[in-house]
Structure 1
Amino acid sequence: MSNKSGGRKPLVADRRYAKPSKVAPKTRARKPAVRKKKPRGLLRRILGFFGRFIWWMTGLLWRIGWRAGLAVGAFVALGVIYYASTLPPITDLVDARMRGSVTLSDREGTVFAWRGDQYGGMVTATTVSVHLRNAVVATEDKRFYNHLGISPRGVASAIRINLNEGRGPLSGNGGSTITQQTAKLLCLGRPFDADVWESETDYERDCRRTTLWRKVQEAVYALAMEVRYSKDEILTIYLNRAYLGAGSRGFEAAANRYFGRSAAEVTPAEAAMLAGLLKAPSTLAPTSNLQRSRDRANLVINLMEEQGYLSSSAAEEARTNPAGLSAAAERRAGGYFADWVMDQGPEFFTSTTTEDVVIQTTIDQRMQTAAEEALAWVFESRVSEGSEAQAAIVVMSADGAVRAMVGGRNTDGTGAFNRATQALRQTGSAFKPFVYATALELGMTPNDIVLDEPLTINVPGSGPWSPKNYSRNFRGPVTLTEALSASLNIPAVRLSEEMGRENVRAVAQGFGISSDLAAGPALALGASESTLVEMTGAYAGILNGGSAVTPYGLVSLRIMGDSEPLMTATGGIRERVIREEAARQLTWMMYQVVETGTGRRAQIDGWEIAGKTGTTQAARDAWFIGFSGDYVTGVWMGYDDNTPLTGVTGSTLPAEIWRETMTRVLSDLQPTPLPMQRTFAQRPSENVVTEDLIDQLILDLQNRAN
């Protein structure tokens, strides 16, 4: 077939890609050059390791922490729920004292002393003085109304202060809120159990113990209280439970104890003083140191001013006119006496009472003050500075009712050694009236004659004994009145021997001297020991006409709120010891002791005074006991360690203390004549005592007894 196209080439597809030229030989592709890494240093490797470890630990702790936090939170929540469910009404918590109180009033019914745990009755946060509520909050917990029961900021601050002052983190400042303090006062809800704690003191000490675990429990209990009670209810519990010194439990008791008024009536200055006691109640109590208490109150006033509770003018007024004690608290009368009365009542109504008890006593606060002032005046004006000599005073009515008692130079005296009731001391010549009482009871008269001549007595087991007079001379025949007035020793011994020691001992014991009496002839010279209250009571028997008395201070005891007493006077006049005539004659003789004899320094213008001096061997004890027609007062002076007194006998300082005391006691009274039978001196040649006369007198006495 011919090509009609005229030689054109047949159609074929175009080549879209050029045919490659001669292929070059393949070569291996070159990799980019890699720079060799230099080895890391050791430090960088260590830091890297610890960085990765810390990051890992942080993650681990976070994973553990949020789980542990959740568990602790659940535990705390359960604790709060448990405690909150067990908390009783606040009325069951305001007074949980384990023992009651004893309130002592004087002969007029005025309260002068307290013992035990005093509770004044329930107060609330809304019924107390607003100044008191503000003072407590300002001092103890200024964020009280804003926190949930615990204050982390307060705890951190307290730990910082403790560490800065060199204490342990939990020692000293605790940073506790009022709620936490209340939890501690409640002992976390644990009541006293005698099977767990040996005593209430151990229980309270354990409740105050501070450990980390206890702080945790305290915080949980505080949170529970916040759930269960309102803020004012928590504050109410606190105001009623806090201890404020001097046996006061709660602010009502403390306000009455220190200021003689209710907690609802206290002034800003008084409120500041009360709130200040919370830090250290026993140390800061105004009855212990008023100035220290006022200094602390000024700090509280400053806090109240800073926090806006007091204006500047009100704060300045409170500082300018600080709180003072009530009359009863300021006098603090009868500390020794109150302790003695507490010992007179049944223990279950006094020292261990669980009830609130009221005891009316015999004390006369005017006389108590008189005795205290007299003792202080004599020691300040008549005794060398620095002397450690002691003295005691007892003022008593003729029936044994004790009107005043001073047991030592420290006239506060509460809990102190009472030299009026506890010190057994030799009586010296103060015992002689009982020798003469025996002679008068046996029929002798004040004008009968006894010989003051050398005397030697053979004492079995000791040999010859020859008594001496203080003056070292002899007067020959003297009347009984003269012998007693001059406090002659030989006539007293001669009478005792002739009347019979057993008779003398019986008369002394009949008048109430219950201590062991000497068996030998020195009995007549007061070789026996006795207490001042015992000797004063024996002299009261002479004043009342010859009947024994039991010294007493308790008039009645009743439970607070009851009208009828559970017990009445524990003492008073008892049986007759000597005839009234003999007692009146003896009073006359003792009147002559003061008028013309060794007791002249006890004279009081316008008053008839009878008494007797007494000085023991080496002047270790000096006595003067005497009486007016109304009261008998005894004074003893000496050293606790039996050191001899220097230049002191019963006729000197003890007689002066007696006069200063009785001058004050009798100042508001009309002179009362002594109940005495006056006799006048006869010639010494008449009625000389002979053995036949003594035998006849003893026989007559026995016949009267039969």
Structure 2
Amino acid sequence: MRVLEFLQKYTVTFVFISGFIVISGLGVTYFQIKDELPRIPKNLRYLNHQPPTEIYSRDGKVLKTLGDRGYMTLDLISPNFQKAIIAVEDSTFYEHHGLDLLAILRAFYKNTVKGKAAEGGSTITQQLAKNLFFSFEKSYERKLKELLMAFQIESTFSKPEILEAYANQIYFGKGAYGVNKASQIYFGKNPSELNLLQSAVLAAIPKSPNKINPINNKEASIHRASYVLQRMVDEGYISETDRSEALKSELNLRATNTKQNPDSYFVDYVLNEMEEMYEKEFIHFGGLKIFTTLDSNMQKAAHDAAKHHVKFLESRMIKEEGQENLEVAVVTVDNQSGAIRVLLGGLDYSKSQFNRAVSNNRMPGSSFKPFVYMSAFENLGYHPGTVIVDEPISLDIPGTTPWEPNNFNDKFKGPVILKEALAKSLNVISAKLMYELSPKRVIKTARKFGIKSPLKNNYSLALGSSGVSALELASAYSVIANLGTYKEPFLVFRVEDYGGNTLYDHFIEKSKRFSEKEIYPLLDMMKGVVENGSGRVVRRVGFDHPAGGKTGTTNDFRDSWFTGFTKNYSTSVWVGFDDNSPLIGPNGRGLTGAHAAAPIWGRYMKKIHKNIKKKEFELPDDVRYEQVNYHNGFFSPKKSKDTMRVALHSGVVLPLKPAGIVAENMKSVKLAQTAQPKKLKIQIKSKKNINAPKRQIPVVASIPKFTPNQENLDTQVWYMLNLKKASLGQSQRVPTGLLVNFLHNTKELAGKGKHRIKRARGNAIDHLYRTMGSLNKQTPNGYSLEKVMTQPEITNFKNNTNH
């Protein structure tokens, strides 16, 4: 405050002394660095005829040419605009000789005394001078050169010439450089026809071209224009009445008349990436050649497939009157390099420039489940043949209402292996895995796949409740196709200057996130989704290459996804409404990822793989295929409708299967839960205990008794009698739940003199005790040995000295 008070009190003296020092210093500096400064052209109009920058697709197509200004002489530019831009950008333009000392001192105070980042203070002449440099960062050295160039420009050209050059080179957003382009894009008129409000709106834009332009944010644009008009009043250019009438007038905004071009979403994203590397003026007017990864033929194929299916959907969907059109996002990543071959952010760029392909505000639904399953493989030692019971559950999470995840069709399959659970997209299984893992573990695994969006630390993440982008999903699924190797997605592989010199050359960034034997079982499970699960629609539309993938549908059918991969490409497709309206079909039912997104994926991938030889995924050396019963996980050499092939790494040994059971009886080798009533509800409660370092053991309600049929009982008894004959590796892999179920459901029979059942129960008890180490220790489902044993068994067991 003391510095400001001093400046205010001694302004004239301070400015005079400062001006003398600055001018003297600039004079000395000029002779020291004059050889480093660019030459001033004889005509300032040359500044606006720099070589254009061109953006190329991978196949050589010019996607966009930047730098076409449409030069206008000052007499063809509205006086309203001339006054507005001077009032807001440089009110002393006609008085200074290139620099505004007060503005510089004000900027110096904020930058030095307050320690803020480099601030302006630039006059119109300085801003014009800056465009001769293409400097990449704000610095005092650049500022000094700007001042010297500003003096040269002021001493060489008249004020009208300087203002004309400036009006033709400033950026107005939406790709418009110069007042002529801006007038055409925003208002559809020549700059000589601009009224007072339109002039103020354009003059307001250069401060923040992307945030203040009237197409992106009309409210912010009018607010800033109001300030511009007030500055015009302050400078005596207009009256207060003129200002009031201007603000009441119609803006008559006309959106850009850009023709439909599916490449535009990709180009926008390229420019966003480039602007993180270089200054905007350098990108647009540096005469660069930007070579991108886009395959224009693939982009067209994606757009055609999306348009075709959306037209079909909208002809059959139930839509409210006035509801907006359905939208689509498609992203394809090249698995070999990480190059983004397709990035389609919507169906019609001329109607909406919002890039849905890179927006992370849409929930992935079941498309997120592969990350949950992979986390279970990593942290719990599970594998595709692990059995989990699909049943109604209620999770009582501290601080929230009970969570009761349900399957899509409100049906439950009982015991099921994980491969079948993913193929059928069973929500309960994913929720159970999440509960056993914890959200933090799953988030950690998702990060290894390259998911960078914020993920909510809650259990509903199991069903894809946190927003991600189509680009993220396509890249993450490519990790699976690449057998555990992550490759950073990229859009630009080379940048050259006007002379053909390379300024940037992309280096492929890759890292091993999972071993091949860890991730191949997941890859095989996702192939199962396409062959026998929720993604089989891609086969129905004629796509026949080896592929894996996953559908995704969110609550109330607001988002529909299909993300999948082949050996060559990974592609993610999203379909939905921008306003989050549900997708409702002609029968009143919601449209899933299988209905809305998968057909687009299938038709598009069929098109781009037309001339590509089919490639199967290589089986790693330490991974093998085994056939199992998908109800109980038993190894099963004979194929039946209840069997499924699973990929297992060398560390997995399947549970022992009863020998001599013929194929017809395979369906009988099911556990007690299969016959439980569908209304059975397991209450899983987690009581908060601040002293407990680990998660509380869930408490499970009693399972209702049922009477097994003789065939089923004989099979289970045989299995238990042969437990001791199993190899060490096999017996160690026997699921605890199988034994607990057997003991629970034969407890009453044990007291009826059934000798074989008593011996079978004895084997099961011995095995469980070796595994659990205690009669009172609870299983993950809340059971203890003591709870499923008879009193005589407990007494005999405790009296046995071997225990």
TM range (shorter): 0.5 to 0.7
1:673 maps to 616
How far off is 1:588 after superposition?
1.0
Identify the match of residue 391 of structure 1 among 328, 335, 339.
328
Which of 449, 461, 464 aligns to 1:526? It is: 464
1:648 correspondence with 2:585: no
Equivalent residues in 2 for 1:113-192, closer than 5 Å: 113-115=64-66, 117-118=67-68
The residue number in structure 1 matching 2:474 is 536
Question: Deviation string for 1:574-633 (max 9, x for gaps)?
Answer: 332222122221111111111111111122443112110001111111110011111011
Matched residues in 1 for 2:561 and 2:449: separation? 18
Alpha-carbon distance in 1 for matches of 2:191, 2:735 = 71
CA distance in structure 2 between the aligned counterparts of 1:667 and 1:634, rounded to whole angstroms: 19
Q: CA contact under 8 A between 1:446 and 1:481: conserved in structure 2?
A: yes
CA RMSD of aligned residues (A): 4.8
Alpha carbons of structure 1 residues 341 and 592: separation in structure 2 relative to 1, 3 Å: same
Shift of 1:476: 0.8
Q: Is the 8 A contact 1:511 1:548 kept in 2?
A: yes
How many residue pairs get aligned? The number is 452
Aligned to 1:14: none
Q: Partner letter of residue 508 of structure 1?
A: A
Partner Cα distance (2:400, 2:609) in 1: 48
1:549-698 alignment runs, 5 A limit: 549-565=487-503, 567-569=504-506, 572-603=508-539, 604-646=542-584, 647-675=590-618, 679-683=625-629, 684-685=631-632, 686=634, 687=655
Cα distance in 1 for partners of 2:334, 2:771 equals: 35
Contact 2:61 2:296 in 1 (8 A): no
Partner residue, 1:126: none
Taking a change above 3 Å as real, the CA distance of residues 478 and 103 of structure 1, as seen in their structure-2 partners, is same
Percent sequence identity over aligned pairs = 31
1:338 pairs, out of 267, 276, 280, with: 267
Normalised TM-score (structure 2)? 0.49
- What are the Cα deviations for residues 94-147 of structure 1, in whole angstroms up to 9, with x where unaligned? 5313998542112244422234x1489x9xxxxxxxxxxxxxxxxx99xxxxxx
Q: Which structure: larger Rg?
A: 1
Structure 2 counterpart of 1:369: 300
Matches for 1:257-276 after TM superposition, within 5 Å = none
Instruction: Output the TM-score relative to the length of structure 1.
Output: 0.55
Q: Please say if residues 372 and 411 of structure 1, whose CA atoms lie closer than 8 Å, have aligned partners that are also in contact.
A: no
Name the amino acid aligned to 2:571: T
Could you tell me how far 1:530 is from its partner in structure 2? Answer: 0.9
Instruction: Measure the CA separation in 2 of the matches of 1:668 and 1:412.
Output: 32
Which of 508, 532, 537 is equivalent to 2:446?
Answer: 508
Q: Show the 5 A alignment for 1:145-544.
A: 195-197=122-124, 332=261, 334-347=263-276, 349=278, 351-353=280-282, 355-384=286-315, 388-398=325-335, 399-411=337-349, 416-442=353-379, 443-544=381-482
**1:387 positional shift:** 5.1
Greater Cα shift, 454-463 or 438-447? 438-447
Note if contact 2:302-2:604 (Cα within 8 Å) is conserved in structure 1.
yes
CA offset at residue 451 of structure 1? 1.5
Distance 1:99 1:196, change over 3 A: farther
Rounded to whole Å, the distance in 2 between the matches of 1:360 and 1:639 is 33
Change (3 A) 1:330 1:408: closer
How far residue 412 of structure 1 moved from its aligned partner, in angstroms, is 5.6
Distance change >3 Å, CA 523–CA 360, structure 1 → 2: same
Q: Alpha-carbon deviations, 1:229-251, whole Å to 9, x = none?
A: xxxxxxxx9xx99x9x996999x
- Aligned partner letter, 1:366: N
Helix, strand or coil at the partner of 1:384 = helix
Q: What are the ranges of 5 or more consecutive residues in structure 1 without an aligned counterpart?
A: 1-87, 123-139, 142-149, 156-167, 173-186, 205-224, 226-236, 255-276, 283-328, 696-706
In 2, the alpha carbon distance for the partners of 1:545 and 1:525 equals 24
Shift in alpha-carbon separation, 1:529–1:333, aligned structure 2, 3 A: closer
Q: Which secondary structure state, in structure 2, belongs to the residue aligned with residue 400 of structure 1?
A: coil
Is this contact kept in 1: 2:56–2:291, CA < 8 A?
yes
Partner SS for 2:421: helix
Q: Contact 1:333–1:365 at 8 Å: present in 2 too?
A: no
Gap change, CA 1:89 and 1:344, over 3 Å in 2:
closer
Distance change in 2, residues 1:573/1:547 (3 Å): farther
Secondary structure of 2:367 counterpart: helix
Give, in whole Å, the separation in 1 of the partners of 2:296 and 2:625: 38
Q: Name the aligned partner's letter for residue 679 of structure 1.
A: Y
Structure 2 residue matching 1:608: 3-state secondary structure: coil
Secondary structure, aligned partner of 2:389 = strand
Partner deviation per Cα, 1:621-656 (whole Å, 9 max, x = no partner): 111001111101101111112111213111111011
- Cα pair 1:516 1:528 within 8 Å, conserved: yes
Asked whether the equivalents of residues 456 and 465 of structure 1 are also in contact (C-alpha less than 8 Å), the reply is: yes
Amino acid at match of 2:271: M
Using the TM superposition, give the Cα deviation of residue 92 of structure 1 relative to its aligned residue in structure 2, in angstroms. Answer: 4.6
Shift of 1:509: 1.1
**Does the Cα contact within 8 Å between 2:324 and 2:577 map onto a contact in 1?**
no
Distance 1:91 1:512, change over 3 A: same
Deviation, structure 1 residue 89? 10
Kept in 2: contact 1:539–1:626 (CA 8 A): yes
- Conserved in 2, the CA contact under 8 Å of 1:452 and 1:476? yes
Which one-letter code corresponds to 1:491 in the other structure?
I
Higher relative contact order (CA 8 A, sep 6+): 1
Q: Distance in 2 between matches of 1:198 and 1:423?
A: 42
